[in-house]
Amino acid sequence: MNTPLHVLIIGYVWPEPNSSAAGYRMLQLIQSFRKSEWKVSFATPAQPTEHMTDLSTHQVTCHSIQVNDDTFNQFIADANADIVVFDRFMMEEQFGWRVEKHSPNSLRALNTEDLHSLREARHNAIKQNSTFNIEDMHSDIGIREIAAIHRSDLTLMVSEHECKILQEHFHVPASHVMHLPFMTHSLSEEEKALRPSFENRQHLIWIGNFRHAPNWDAVLQLKQTFWPAIRKKLKENGLSDVELHIYGAYPPPKATQLHNEKERFLIKGWAENVTDVMQNAKLCVAPIRFGAGIKGKLYDAMLCGTPSITSPIGAESMHGSLPWNGIITSDIEEFASATASLYQDQESWNLMQKNGDRIIEEKYEINHWEPSLIKRLKLQLSLKEPLRNAHFLGKMMRHHSMKSTQYMSQWITLKNNPTND
């Protein structure tokens, strides 16, 4: 019998699967490793949070670690991990050189969640009222992120579009990238039948962590532009009682101040159970102007049988060539008309729901993706040294980038502990 592998995850934050798509993704990875009976450890320099999941219920050993602290060196050496997963490029930057030096046999995998530099570049284009160009990713954060990807033995990407960007524009070898979207079991016909029907649903829903910049921007877009246009169309169709419910973790005062019962724009805040609120809504509205990765809210909407109206950025890399489970548009009037029309057209609504079910079945089925993940990690582990030697750009990045990071970290460590020899 083979000895179970040991996976050590170095987390940017403690996972909050009910707060963000990133937390949901991390829990899926942990569950996949545990299903393979691998030992899983989770270490993070982050502070505990109100909505963090209890990893002990998944038989995960947890550790608190510090940045710029030499105690990590002994920790990683003692961990003897077969695979180290960095959660986002900032963790690879901070701890990657220490893992390479003190645990050189560990496979170094990077879980990006999404391309931060792509999200930032699109955000900047919005702020500057300009058109996004791929060269806009050649920023400080872009250089840092792409360097971390080149230094890693394998990078897990939720978005096919972003895999293409990495390979075609940033010359990351296909051998070092894996497309791995969210994973779920397709619903049986019996499970689908248990979802509330068209007649038993009401109101519109938006959901998203308020700390995530694309989410806050979308809420403002709804409040200032889209909801007034949607409400006007709804009133014209005798639907003046329809409300827009805004859910999301960590709403700041500037968000709660947008609550307006007269306008039927309701800030609901934290959703204890996303499935309950999503599957009782008739439509999900998501006018997302910038971002990256795949959108957890739209994925949840499909699982809950809730058609969605969203933008091209919102639907990016989520459905391939399959028809969307709603309408894709950035035009305000078209968005408003589609929302009002779909809200009352049961035949079209049922069709869109079926489109969502098909997307889940063909793009996110866990019985396809989970074995592929485990197989790829094992293969990557067995070919670790040949692949490292073949990827000259990665070796060069580690030689130069990691030395500068190492020396800076060592300087900070010395500054923080002046009594050390």
Of how many residues is the chain composed? 421
Q: How confident is the model at residue 408 (pLDDT cuts 50, 70, 90)?
A: low
Please give the class, per CATH, of domain 189-363: alpha beta
Average pLDDT, the chain: 94
In angstroms, the CA 134 to CA 311 distance is 19
pLDDT category of residue 1 using cuts at 50, 70 and 90: very low
Do 341 and 146 contact (CB within 8 A), yes or no? no
Banded model confidence at residue 324, pLDDT cuts 50, 70, 90: very high
pLDDT digits (tens, 9 = 90+) for 77-93: 999 999 999 999 999 99
pLDDT of residue 221: 98
Q: Enumerate the domain spans of the chain.
A: 6-183+366-416, 189-363
Contact status, residue 210 vs residue 255, Cβ threshold 8 Å: yes
Q: How confident is the model at residue 254 (pLDDT cuts 50, 70, 90)?
A: very high
Pick the CATH number of 6-183+366-416 from 3.40.50.300, 3.40.50.2300, 3.10.50.40, 3.40.50.2000: 3.40.50.2000
At 362-385, the pLDDT tens digits run 999 999 999 999 999 999 999 999
Residues 6+ apart with CB under 8 A from 283: 204, 205, 306, 307, 308, 309, 326, 339, 342, 343
Q: Which three-class secondary structure state does DSSP give residue 130?
A: coil
> In terms of pTM, does the model score above 0.85?
yes
Tell me whether the CATH fold assigned to 6-183+366-416 matches the one assigned to 189-363.
Answer: yes
pLDDT at residue 398, rounded to an integer: 80
62: pLDDT confidence band, cut at 50, 70 and 90? very high
Residue 212 burial (C-beta neighbours within 10 Å; 0-12, 13-18, 19+) = buried
Checking if the pLDDT of 166 tops 50, the result is yes
